[in-house]
Structure 1
Amino acid sequence: MHTQTAPPPTAAKRPPTVRVAAWSAANPWKAMLAWAVFVAVCFGAGTAAGTHQVAFSDFWIGEAGDAETIALEHGLTAPAVERILITSPTGDLDPEAAAAAAADVTARMNALDEVADVAAPVTAASGDAVLLAVTMSMPAHEAGDHIDPLLETTAAVQEAHPGLDIAETGSKSISSELDDQLGTQLGQVERFTLPITLAILFIVFGSLLLAGVPLALAITSIIAALGAYALASHFFPDAGGAVTSVLAMIGMAVGVDYSLFYLKRVREERRRTGGLDPAAAIEHAAATAGRTIVTSGIAVIVSLAGLYLVDDVIFSSIATACIIVVAIAMISSLTVLPAMLAKIGRRIDGGRLLRRKTTAATPGEGRFWPALLRPSLRHPVATAVIGLAVIGGLALPALTMTTSVEGKETFPKSLGTIAAYDDLVAEFPAEGLSHSVVAQADDAAALAAAAAELEERTRGDALFAATDAPRVAVSDDGTAIRLELPIPYATSDPRAAESLALLRDDLVPDTVGQVPGVAYAVSGEPAYAKDYADHQSQRLFLVVGFVLLATVVMMLIAFRSLVFALLSMVLNLLSTLAAWGALALVFQHTWAEGLLHFDSPGFVGSRTPLMVFAILFGLSLDYQVFVMSRIREAALGGAAPREAIRQGIRSSASVVTSAAVIMMSVFVAFVFIDRIEMKQLGLALALGVLLDAVVVRVMLLPALMALVDRAGRWPRTWKSIEQRA
């Protein structure tokens, strides 16, 4: 039994999606020109206005953030310091050659406006390395924009002394090189995925012209969204980083999804009616697919809004960017897409790739999907048990997930600044990470004495690195101090966390904490990593709870069934849980290091679980709305529950599968980016989409819906008049 679509409603009753589509189809050149102007205005205005970045202090979180606030108030913010390391390729450093190179570095760096001071050269205990610390002349949060002259000077000194290895490292030079590498590799991902996307769409439609339509709409939606996001950043500041990459990722996903769904529906209407006029077919599609696109877009936007609850500038930026691109992709599918399809006209039917033919009686039937769905509908209990076992088995390792913030030890060793940093801490252990104790009290003498006692109590402790003299900075009035306590361990090393706990729980309260009226806090990279990871963990369940509740409400409004709304929530969550489990299984162990070319950090990036949840849940919700809409439509058309399930999933299967394959190609490409966080994100999303398309949509959804029917919980509102009678 097949759904028979009613003729388009009368003009007085036509929903907005139909009225907009009808106007666009009747005035295609006007609609396409309006869209081109909209994209140009958005992008042009955004480019002219520029992107407004968040304040440096907006990244501060927890006790580490409190410490930086006290330091800022008293002029004790740590300056940006770059370190120049001089070594020999042979390992035996010539003291005279090293001294000459050090003098050259000093002279050239002192000539730069970006440099405030160059410290005297320091020779390592081994005698095989010489270190020069270069302090930059601007505030630390501005130094990244001025690092290039220092890097160019270091390169010039290296060229002048070819017999030595002269390398620069530091937080600003490392960030600069990381950003450059990430930008290059993201560009490679785009060049890799766009042809694949076009090829998949060509296979789906059998026409290069039709294949280009979803891709063109997705790309123009992304361009418009980038401009709109730049404008929005003046109200919701941009956190930078990979935000625009996430925008492009989501924009490609929903842009292709919505266009695919609409275009396939137009072709289906023409096949069903034996060649319905394209304009009429577009109106039919707008009445059904248009409504689904609006429902899906709003549901995804509401879900993404949950990221604001993280109370973190990075996730707020991601939420703003993704909401904008989803809204624009939704608008493009409802406005300019009908115009483009109207201009394509009867060519919309495309080719018949590999001689595949469909008939009006059995649109898209084939043998594959009916065979794949048969076990779910005939044996729903067994299918549901198997599907849940697969998902549950993959999700189980998520219980062991440990999160932390990326440190220098996880960055690509192929980068010169990272290699120099490793050599630096090997020769000068005290030049690596450090804890920063910041305190303020009115009694300057007592505060200074307490700081000295604290520093003394760390001497000789293996958890701290030895220094020649206390590294303490005092405010002009003496009422605030910043004490640096170096550690010889990486951020993710358990001993770094142990030394931090010792400071926060015992040493600082017993010394600085005893000064009357004191305010103190401990900062530094290990402290920031702990506080940030703790913050993410605390907010995770709040965000997940909000999104799940929002999903139930949206699906209840859309489909008028509490049972299926709850079922949708559970199904959308399953893919995420399995992806989380895969993260812990792969990246917290070493067995996949050779396969994916990474060194296991022993943890998952603290931002990754929420990123995976937000992106994967949004895509799953997108697919769920498409499938459920077709099932509901079949049921309202008179199909019995099992038949409605079969028709709905079969008629949407090619769209969901095509979109899933496209997204998997994008996500898999991220696995080859030389950043552990990107690898984690790419693998989790690729696996999540695969499971969602195969296990959840083909096995669990039909099986569980069949069980709902068996239990007599099929919605009354989904039953046709004939069935009710």
Structure 2
Amino acid sequence: MWSAHHRRTAIIGWLLFVVLATAAGGASGMVEMSASEQGTGDSARAQKILDDARLDQPAGELVLVSSGTAGGWKAAAAELSEAIGKTGEAQKIEPPLASQNGREALIRFQIKGDSKTAADRVQPVLDAVRDTGKAQQGVEIHQFGQASSEKWLGDLLSEDFQRAEFTAVPLALGILLVAFGAVVAALLPVGLALTACMAAFGLLSLASHQLHLFQTTYSVMFLMGLAVGVDYCLFYLRRERDERAAGHDAETALRIAAATSGRAVLVSGVTVMLAMAGMFLSGLMLFKGFALATIIVVFIAMLGSVTVLPALLAWLGDRIDAGRIPFLNRRGKKGAHESGAVAGAVLRPVLAKPKLFAFGAVAVLLVLAAPALGMKTESLGMEKQFGSDASLSVAYKKVTEAFPGGPEPARVVVKADDIDSERMRGALARFDPSDVTVHRAKNVAEIEVVLAGNGNDSASKDALADLRDKRVPAAFGGTGAQVFVGGELAESVDFNDQLKRGIVPVFAFITAVTFLLMLFCFRSYVIAVTSILLNLLSVAAAYGVMVAVFQHGWGASALGTEAVGAIEGWMPLFVLVVLFGLSMDYHVFVVSRIREARDRGTDTRAAINEGIRRTAGAVTGAAAIMVAVFAVFGTLSMQDMQQMGVGLAAAVLLDATIVRMVLLPSVMALLGERNWRTPRGLGWLPRMDHGEAEVPAPGNLSPSGV
């Protein structure tokens, strides 16, 4: 209400905050996490030794030349090696290595300079390989390596996320136009969400100097910020319009919206932020960055919705309906209650037979969740991550088939007090000398060990376990050296192992936080427990949908994707935390309205009917926006982004329909007055009014006043 009375100060202050945060973040730049910070366990320790010793391994590249006959690749390979050398960007170009059948040859070389920036210099080599391939007849040429992969991936991600961001905003705007029927009313939430995201981007860049971030963190922030920012404004704005439609003047409607939906937004925002904080317990910097990003953007969106939004509404007054669209404008009592009428038609049978509908809703969600019992997680390789038809996946597959062991061998890193000691020389002698690189000035040695299998299958994992558990201890036992096994597969195994350990404390944290916040907000342990159970059903159903589509391939082609036989390793934990947070948006908003009716003396069933009918429009619009935004990310090229988008979209859709419209009212109807019981001994809990009992006194909120 202070913002509404001092709207000029609030609006200018918000714009100044956004500009300063954006400028400061742009000036400081984002700091990305290093290779050792991305991982965990022994593989991260191995990389840390190399980072501390400033031993940069040049980016390696592989070019596979295939022909239909044995030795048919020789002329092409010779010409290709010459062309690569002429680019001036390659070094240590090795003679072609023939495969066992003699029909393929592998050319190994390195990109000159720092491996971290090799992707910026690899284009001339890519051009040389492509041009040579076009000039040759009867041979196939495929390139794969660190620099070419990073170049290909960077270009793909940039294109994908630009498309997602430019698609999500018009979609959200279109849904809001349908919901409000007026251009200004639709632009307000989108504009506020975008400015919140801009400010969050700047603050996150500043924070990245302390907590280094993964390259996709900004996209995750935009995804959450747009969805949550629009939703919070939608809840607030929809309540203000409902009160106007009920006959209140602009000032009174704004005061009621501030005292009801404004409070619900605060509770919901705090709940989401605390749920996201659970990711700090994962033990992985990737999730710590996700947690920091989402907490920042949710806090700013929440702050904007209860400060600058009331100021804008007070300033606009009736001009909020400027730019009315024929056939879409819903101003007035009839339009305000259209969605409520639909909700009422759904609620009548639900409240008449709550046992039947509660059982049916739970059964549907459990059926959807059933595939999750067979969930298999792994760090998806190139072929699975980008689809079997992607050029990078094809090259990876061809190389691994012709030369088993994968393009990336395991790497044993040894740090000793004296790498040249007799005992250390004896230990290193147990490995092929051609695979051992000794950095005497740093007292560090690197050993490359080719693993069996394709680099990610059970044979490769068994070979890695044997290397870690038997070969390395047998060779370096008693030397006193630090010895760790790293490499692509080791990093994947260590990452997934940490995820399995981390999900327990994260789950315990978010369930405890949800329980305590709901208990504090509604003074009811029944509401708190049902909140957790409903959220778990939503998460389980989302898991089931993800497994059905992406692991088993049910309906995958219809969604423009393909089955990969597994779920990306970090996805279950991420989806759990995000859905637990986002589900509270609807839950707090709906239950607050039910409690509001109950506090006026309405019996529980009538309060349920009124609360859900009156929030149906806002929940439907908010859910539609979230589903649309998440679905856009489901169209991206990377498999993990597809899984995230489809999983979150399905969960929000189920949560806003089956859970909020059927399961929640039926369960609350069955519980009756028990919904509102305060636990014995906790009567000291402060009472949070959910109605209009403490609406602030009127002030000067006329459009002409300041």
Please tell me whether residue 555 in structure 1 is matched to residue 518 in structure 2.
Answer: yes
Q: 1:316, CA displacement in angstroms? A: 0.9
Equivalent-residue separation in structure 1 for 2:688 and 2:314 (angstroms):
32
Distance 1:206 1:126, change over 3 A: same
Secondary structure in 2 aligned to 1:649? helix
* Equivalent residues in 2 for 1:639-654, closer than 5 Å: 639-654=602-617
When structure 1 is superposed on structure 2, of 667-676 and 434-443 the one drifting more is 434-443
Q: 1:613, CA displacement in angstroms? A: 1.4
Please tell me whether residue 699 in structure 1 is matched to residue 662 in structure 2.
Answer: yes
* Equivalent of residue 379 in structure 2, options 405, 408, 413: 405
Equivalent-residue separation in structure 1 for 2:11 and 2:444 (angstroms):
63
Q: 1:160, CA displacement in angstroms? A: 6.1
* 2:201 match: 226
Equivalent-residue separation in structure 1 for 2:573 and 2:76 (angstroms):
52
* 2:588 match: 625
Equivalent-residue separation in structure 2 for 1:359 and 1:593 (angstroms):
43
Q: 1:603, CA displacement in angstroms? A: 1.7
Distance 1:64 1:378, change over 3 A: same
Equivalent-residue separation in structure 2 for 1:552 and 1:366 (angstroms):
29
CA contact (8 A) 1:444 1:479 kept: no
* Equivalent residues in 2 for 1:638-677, closer than 5 Å: 638-677=601-640
Equivalent-residue separation in structure 1 for 2:675 and 2:156 (angstroms):
57
Distance 1:480 1:338, change over 3 A: closer
Please tell me whether residue 61 in structure 1 is matched to residue 36 in structure 2.
Answer: no
Q: 1:330, CA displacement in angstroms? A: 1.1
CA contact (8 A) 1:154 1:166 kept: no
* Equivalent of residue 279 in structure 1, options 231, 235, 251: 251
* 1:205 match: 180
* Equivalent of residue 4 in structure 2, options 15, 21, 46: 21
When structure 1 is superposed on structure 2, of 83-92 and 677-686 the one drifting more is 83-92
Please tell me whether residue 96 in structure 1 is matched to residue 75 in structure 2.
Answer: yes
* 1:329 match: 301
* Equivalent residues in 2 for 1:506-525, closer than 5 Å: 506-509=470-473, 511-525=474-488
**1:584-618 deviation per Cα after TM superposition (whole angstroms, max 9, x unaligned):** 23322244443344443322111101111122222
Please tell me whether residue 35 in structure 1 is matched to residue 36 in structure 2.
Answer: no
Secondary structure in 2 aligned to 1:132? strand
When structure 1 is superposed on structure 2, of 649-658 and 518-527 the one drifting more is 518-527
Equivalent-residue separation in structure 1 for 2:320 and 2:56 (angstroms):
63
Q: 1:663, CA displacement in angstroms? A: 1.2
Secondary structure in 2 aligned to 1:263? helix
* 2:351 match: 377
CA contact (8 A) 2:171 2:625 kept: yes
* TM-score, scaled to structure 1: 0.86
Equivalent-residue separation in structure 2 for 1:478 and 1:260 (angstroms):
59
Please tell me whether residue 295 in structure 1 is matched to residue 259 in structure 2.
Answer: no
Letter in 2 for 1:153: V
Secondary structure in 2 aligned to 1:168? strand
Q: 1:627, CA displacement in angstroms? A: 0.7
When structure 1 is superposed on structure 2, of 324-333 and 354-363 the one drifting more is 354-363
When structure 1 is superposed on structure 2, of 473-482 and 330-339 the one drifting more is 473-482
Q: 1:369, CA displacement in angstroms? A: 0.8
* Equivalent of residue 119 in structure 2, options 132, 140, 147: 147
Distance 1:514 1:45, change over 3 A: closer
Q: 1:430, CA displacement in angstroms? A: 5.0
Distance 1:681 1:489, change over 3 A: same
Equivalent-residue separation in structure 2 for 1:195 and 1:105 (angstroms):
45
Secondary structure in 2 aligned to 1:83? strand
**1:532-556 deviation per Cα after TM superposition (whole angstroms, max 9, x unaligned):** 1010011001101101111111112
Please tell me whether residue 682 in structure 1 is matched to residue 637 in structure 2.
Answer: no
**1:222-280 deviation per Cα after TM superposition (whole angstroms, max 9, x unaligned):** 1111111111212322222x2111111111111111111111111111122x2x33233
Equivalent-residue separation in structure 2 for 1:369 and 1:665 (angstroms):
21
When structure 1 is superposed on structure 2, of 581-590 and 547-556 the one drifting more is 581-590
Q: 1:155, CA displacement in angstroms? A: 0.2
* 1:474 match: 438
Equivalent-residue separation in structure 1 for 2:631 and 2:575 (angstroms):
14
Distance 1:186 1:75, change over 3 A: closer
CA contact (8 A) 2:224 2:294 kept: yes
Distance 1:363 1:416, change over 3 A: closer
Q: 1:75, CA displacement in angstroms? A: 6.7
Distance 1:547 1:581, change over 3 A: same
Q: 1:641, CA displacement in angstroms? A: 1.1
Q: 1:672, CA displacement in angstroms? A: 2.1
* 2:233 match: 259
CA contact (8 A) 1:76 1:474 kept: no
* 1:15 match: none
Query: Alignment length, in residue pairs?
Result: 676
* 1:460 match: none
Please tell me whether residue 485 in structure 1 is matched to residue 457 in structure 2.
Answer: no
* Equivalent residues in 2 for 1:162-201, closer than 5 Å: 162-164=134-136, 167-201=142-176
**1:362-398 deviation per Cα after TM superposition (whole angstroms, max 9, x unaligned):** 8557531111112332222222111111222222332
Equivalent-residue separation in structure 1 for 2:458 and 2:279 (angstroms):
30
Distance 1:642 1:591, change over 3 A: closer
CA contact (8 A) 2:122 2:147 kept: no
Secondary structure in 2 aligned to 1:429? coil
Equivalent-residue separation in structure 1 for 2:487 and 2:241 (angstroms):
60
Equivalent-residue separation in structure 2 for 1:54 and 1:718 (angstroms):
43
Equivalent-residue separation in structure 1 for 2:60 and 2:335 (angstroms):
73
Q: Percent identity?
A: 35
Secondary structure in 2 aligned to 1:118? coil
Equivalent-residue separation in structure 2 for 1:306 and 1:353 (angstroms):
45
* 2:409 match: 434
Distance 1:577 1:151, change over 3 A: same
Equivalent-residue separation in structure 2 for 1:529 and 1:56 (angstroms):
13
Letter in 1 for 2:192: L
Equivalent-residue separation in structure 2 for 1:361 and 1:162 (angstroms):
63
Q: 1:307, CA displacement in angstroms? A: 0.9
Question: Gapped runs of 5+ residues in structure 2?
Answer: 692-706
Please tell me whether residue 159 in structure 1 is matched to residue 140 in structure 2.
Answer: no
CA contact (8 A) 1:221 1:328 kept: yes
* 1:494 match: 458
Secondary structure in 1 aligned to 2:440? coil
* Equivalent residues in 2 for 1:336-347, closer than 5 Å: 336-347=308-319
Question: Gapped runs of 5+ residues in structure 1?
Answer: 1-17, 456-468
Equivalent-residue separation in structure 2 for 1:213 and 1:400 (angstroms):
44
CA contact (8 A) 1:407 1:490 kept: no
**1:83-115 deviation per Cα after TM superposition (whole angstroms, max 9, x unaligned):** 23445699984533431331231232xx34xx5
Equivalent-residue separation in structure 2 for 1:157 and 1:641 (angstroms):
72
* Equivalent of residue 504 in structure 1, options 446, 462, 468: 468
**1:548-600 deviation per Cα after TM superposition (whole angstroms, max 9, x unaligned):** 11111111222222221222122122211211222223322244443344443
Letter in 2 for 1:634: A
Equivalent-residue separation in structure 2 for 1:629 and 1:712 (angstroms):
13
Q: 1:127, CA displacement in angstroms? A: 4.7
Letter in 2 for 1:562: Y
* Equivalent of residue 387 in structure 1, options 352, 358, 361: 361
**1:40-61 deviation per Cα after TM superposition (whole angstroms, max 9, x unaligned):** 2211111111112223321231
Equivalent-residue separation in structure 1 for 2:556 and 2:301 (angstroms):
38
Secondary structure in 2 aligned to 1:482? strand
Equivalent-residue separation in structure 1 for 2:173 and 2:208 (angstroms):
32
Equivalent-residue separation in structure 1 for 2:133 and 2:460 (angstroms):
37
